[in-house]
Amino acid sequence: MRPPVRIVWLAPAALAVAGCQVVPASDAPPPPEEVIAVAAPVIQPVPPPPSAPPPPIPLTPFTYAGELTQGGWIRGQAPTGTVAARLGEQALVLDEQGRFFAAFDRDAGNQAVLIATLADGRQVTETLAVSPRDWQIERVNVARSPGGSSAAFMERRRPELARINAAREVNAQSQGWTQQFIWPVTGRISGRFGSQRIYRGGEAGAYHSGLDIAGGNGTTYVAPADGVVTLATDQPFSLEGYLLIIDHGHGLNSAFLHNSALLVREGDVVRQGQPIARIGSTGRSTGPHLHWGIKWRDARLDPLLFLGPMP
């Protein structure tokens, strides 16, 4: 009768050493059983199943409100997950909540496109309908005066323009762009934004770039919204006279021309309703009035579209 069999499980490394031979434990006679060395099975670990990718961020639309017309503006909220946004080719500034300001030039076309780029690379676009305006156009049967400026004038004008451009590129940290603007002063409106003269032969003159308010010489006026003073001239400029520029944040700024006196200095933080200057007739002006211009980046805007009825 065959002796009983005892199976001994050895790790593969032990087999390599023993060569699958039965090695007696001592010189004592082997027990009455047959010993067979068998390699222990090698169990490979099973990798966990791959985790599912996170679901994509749901697409949300732009939301906005304002004046969707030439010379107008909008305030809005970018889609969830937006890392960059633009209006056409113009980059938008987004605050921590994803809010933005954008605007449309006096000569803007009838459409504009909002584009948001999300963190995962997807884009959200929305086409805006920009309504045209009927501008106050005066046609006169006279020839336009020859253009061009003298070398002496341009020698004075170039540094003035450099200061104006620098003031408009400051990008101050202000929340004025979020506010409902107020009238800086009340009085007769003596010039409207966008008005233009067409001369004999159809040649167009430059359009009026702001709102003129005849509030009386020396009348004090106030800031229409919060902002930072980025230009307050200590000498009158050739065209603007004593000039004041206030940055309302997000690329939006106001310029106030022809002042008789300025009540704030460059770098001052001003609050809505704070007195900032007095009406005058300095620079190229036909009489005392406040010329108020608003720009967003390179777009010229109509101040009347930021205001409610005159009080």
pLDDT in tens, 116-170: 999 999 999 999 999 999 999 999 888 887 766 789 999 999 999 999 999 999 9
When pLDDT is cut at 50, 70 and 90, the band that residue 35 belongs to is: low
pLDDT in tens, 207-234: 999 999 999 999 999 999 999 999 999 9
pLDDT for 47 equals 80
pLDDT for 200 equals 87
Structure tokens at 27: 């010189």
Find out whether 70 and 105 touch, Cβ atoms under 8 Å: yes
Share of the chain above pLDDT 90, in %: 75
pLDDT in tens, 241-288: 999 999 999 999 999 999 999 999 999 999 999 999 999 999 999 999
Backbone angles phi, psi at 178, to 5 degrees: -85, -10
What is the distance between the alpha carbons of residues 85 and 119, in angstroms, rounded to a whole number? Answer: 11
Q: Is 272 exposed, middle or buried (0-12, 13-18, 19+ CB in 10 A)?
A: middle
What is the distance between the alpha carbons of residues 192 and 136, in angstroms, rounded to a whole number? Answer: 8
